[in-house]
Amino acid sequence: MLNLLKLRWNHGYQAIPDIRKAELMVTHRGFPVINESECKDNCGECKDVCPTEAIEINPLSIDLGKCTFCGECERVCAAIKFTNECRSGSTSRNNLIVTSKNFSGLTSDVYRNRAIETRKEIHKMFGRSLKLRQVSAGGCNGCEMELSACGNVNFDMGRFGIDFAASPRHSDGIVITGPVSRNMAPALMDAYNSIPSPKIVIAAGACAISGGIFKESEYLNREFFEKIKIDLFIPGCPPHPITFINSLLDFLGR
């Protein structure tokens, strides 16, 4: 026991002290900034190279719900620049569509204050404790690995009272990852129905939000998103743990 206590003392406090102010390395591709004045006569080259059709022209925009943050558009278009800002969750699907008018020159705090609506009833019910059931609905396991990392000693999501539960019956909400394959569609609905009401629904990652690179596949069944309202969208491919945790804290009014 003494050796364990000594080891713990030597390790110190390993979690990020203030996850609200944490900054990622400059090479991380986060929130894009669009400057249409740099656009070359609407050539459309950035749209052509996008693997998920996340880019539209006139006006130039990027749909973060489709974006895989691959950076191909930035390489061919001077009008698009990815920053290292990773706080990009939204309670509205429309807020994930970024243009030069709705984000260029704004701070991430301004975006978050507008993009994530904090409801009093959510804060009252789940503000102190939130248990989530994560369902991998046919994804590549990239999102699942990042969500698993949320609970490690570095990010320590549990200190905020947020944890993943083993059973949907012990959960307050569901986190969906993956594009939802045919085989997983019934299991996803079963998991959702097994969670007691009231409950929240979170779509994490480009695949869950829009289908991602698999959206045209005939082996998908995305009827779930036509029937069930999504409370929180967390973009990324995959979303960074800081993106996920900060989005939840904003959503819960913490």
| Three-state secondary structure of 47-115 | HHHCCCCCEECCCCEEECCCCCCCCHHHHHCCCEEECCCCCCCECCCHHHEEECCCCCCCCHHHHHHHH
CATH at 105: 3.30.70.20
d(CA 120, CA 126): 10
Which region among 26-35, 100-109, 115-124 has the lowest average model confidence (pLDDT)?
Answer: 100-109
Distance of alpha carbon 88 from alpha carbon 76, whole angstroms? 24
For residue 113, is pLDDT > 70?
no
Closest to 243 (Cα-Cα) out of 3, 23, 12: 23
Same domain (yes/no): 59, 127: no
Same domain, 104 and 77: yes
Q: Answer whether residue 22 is part of any domain.
A: no
166: CATH? 3.40.50.12280
What pLDDT shows up at residue 102?
63
Range of the domain at 61: 32-86+98-115
Are 52 and 165 members of one domain? Answer: no
| Same domain, yes or no: 48 and 129 | no
In a domain, 92, yes or no: no
Whether residue 133 sits in one domain with residue 72: no
- Round to whole Å and give the CA distance between 68 and 51: 8
Could you report the per-residue pLDDT of 7-46, keeping only the tens digit for each?
A: 777 767 778 888 888 888 988 999 888 888 778 777 888 8
Same-domain pairing of 200 and 236: yes
* Domain presence at residue 25: no
219 or 8, which is more confident: 219
**pLDDT mean over 177-193:** 97
Residues 109 and 124 in one domain: no
> How many domains are contained in the chain?
2
Q: Based on the fold, state whether residues 229 and 126 are members of the same structural domain.
A: yes
Q: What is the pTM of this model?
A: 0.91
In this structure, the answer to whether residues 104 and 127 fall within a common structural domain is: no
Q: Are 148 and 203 in a shared domain?
A: yes
Which has the minimum average pLDDT: 4-8, 63-67, 133-137, 193-197? 4-8
Neighbours of 135 (CB within 10 A): 24
Q: What is the pLDDT of residue 38?
A: 78
Whole-number Å distance between alpha carbons of 39 and 57: 10
Domain assignment of residue 109, yes or no: yes
